Amino acid sequence: MRTFDKLYIGGTWVEPESADTIEVINASTEAVMGSIPAGTPGDVDRAVAAAVAAFDAWAATSPKERVGYVQSIADGLAARQQEIAEVITGEVGMPIFLSQLIQAGLPQAVAASYVGIAESFEWEEQIGNSLVVKEPIGVVGAITPWNYPLHQIVAKVAPALTAGCTVVLKPSEVAPLNAFILAEIVHEAGLPAGVYNLVSGTGPVVGEAIASHPDIDMVSFTGSTRAGTRVGELGAATVKRVALELGGKSANILLPSLEGEELERAAKAAVGSAFLNSGQTCTAFTRLLVPRDKEQEILDVVKGEVETTYTIGDPATGAGRLGPLISDVQRERVRGHIRQGIDEGATLVTGGAEAPEDLPTGYYVKPTVFAGVTSDMTIAREEIFGPVLSVLAYDDVDEAVAIANDTRYGLSGGVWGADVEEAKAVARRVRTGQLEINGGSFNPMAPFGGYKQSGNGRELGAYGLEEFLQTKSMQL
């Protein structure tokens, strides 16, 4: 049981304005595992005032000095890696062996990457008689989600601090305990008072206060498209910069050129691309596009992979590849989508909406695959955020591309082909922010973000640093 009763504002732990608290629930036991303060707009005002007061001095430090602090934060994350992994496994439900690698390991790598990025970054350049300089945008409000909670925090905080910005963070109230651990690490790193501030609470209260605050210069938000739209509306009133990383309904295209072992490997990989973190991944490849004449062959492989490899179980012991979903609300939402898929005429290949018989406690959903899916079905159009894979058949590559692009989202996707150049050519036609070619691995140094209603702006690497900078021209 972890109880945090204070907020981190102005370099110290302070009493919140309200005595109200929010309970944090363990996703696999359904028991309370901690609590946090329910922050108020007044708490946001205090945090913003501290960030404003700290900005000028922090912005005046050198990039080298700033990334020294960021490296100290990375070192602190490494020292508490196992603890962080266990906490996030409880909060989110990701199996512990994956939490160690992804939920705890990836934030360390992202934070540490900014040391090298800052050294090679072109902070100023001469263009004719103009000196063009990059300066920090100011006070940043960061609003982050629950599915990869610490990674999404660090993906905003590390580049913002490197840029010379000060930060007010609101973590997800569903998975916030890791953010309080980070605040402890930040404090131990000795960041100047007010450079980093933490106000926990709900989106409609604390999130909206941050997005609309006149003294916040930029809001960086990750979450649903619906909530991101609201953040954009509120931010527009003060013409602040708004960076949005939103939902997805990503397509994974298996090209007709795939045969034999290559086809089998692609089909098996498709399951993992859809079901990582129990499908609670904004980039999950939840639409599998397959040649019509190979549909049954692929379905046989997918069904076998799901039923033998992607088992569900207690995430704390790593008993399965899939853990529970984040909450009862999310579990019921996903089960509702499964029932809707059946009602709309899709063919249930494996899984279903019924609760797993051997797991009566915990927010578990059976990994589910549908065939016979068409682009007008709800399960092919809405982001489900659970372990549900829709298989859609196509007749030629042009139709596959058209199906892939027939969505309001454009966050990610994949293309598999016997020839990498062929796969790359198809990938160029898909309107998304990133694509995997033949299972190419995630690169934390490459830009991450979406097209269309999947958002705007980019995170990670040098592109992520650019988001927190303003450009000034001085004519000489």
CATH number at residue 57: 3.40.605.10
255 shares a domain with 242: no
335 shares a domain with 296: yes
365 shares a domain with 296: yes
275 shares a domain with 180: no
What pLDDT score was predicted for residue 219?
A: 98
Query: Residue 300 region, left (φ>0) first, then alpha (ψ -120 to 50), else beta?
Result: alpha
425 shares a domain with 462: no
What pLDDT score was predicted for residue 56?
A: 98
Whole domain around residue 459: which residue ranges? 2-246+453-475
Q: Name residues whose C-beta falls within 8 Å of residue 442's C-beta, 6 or more positions apart in sequence.
A: none
Residues 224, 261: contact at Cβ < 8 Å?
no
Cα distance between residue 129 and residue 347, in whole Å: 66
What pLDDT score was predicted for residue 408?
A: 98
304 shares a domain with 169: no
pTM equals 0.97
320 shares a domain with 216: no
Q: How many domains does the chain have?
A: 2
365 shares a domain with 458: no
26 shares a domain with 46: yes
pLDDT along the chain (476 residues), means of 10: 97 98 98 98 98 98 98 98 98 98 98 98 98 98 98 98 98 98 98 98 98 98 97 98 98 98 98 98 98 98 98 94 97 98 98 94 97 98 98 98 98 98 98 98 97 98 98 98
What pLDDT score was predicted for residue 324?
A: 98
What pLDDT score was predicted for residue 339?
A: 98
The alpha carbon of 302 is separated from its chain's Cα centroid by a whole number of angstroms, namely 26
176 shares a domain with 159: yes
What is the dihedral sign for C-alpha 355, 384, 148, 306? positive
| Residues marked as catalytic | 245, 282
324 shares a domain with 194: no
389 shares a domain with 364: yes
Residues 131, 473: contact at Cβ < 8 Å?
yes
**CATH number of the domain to which 392 belongs:** 3.40.309.10
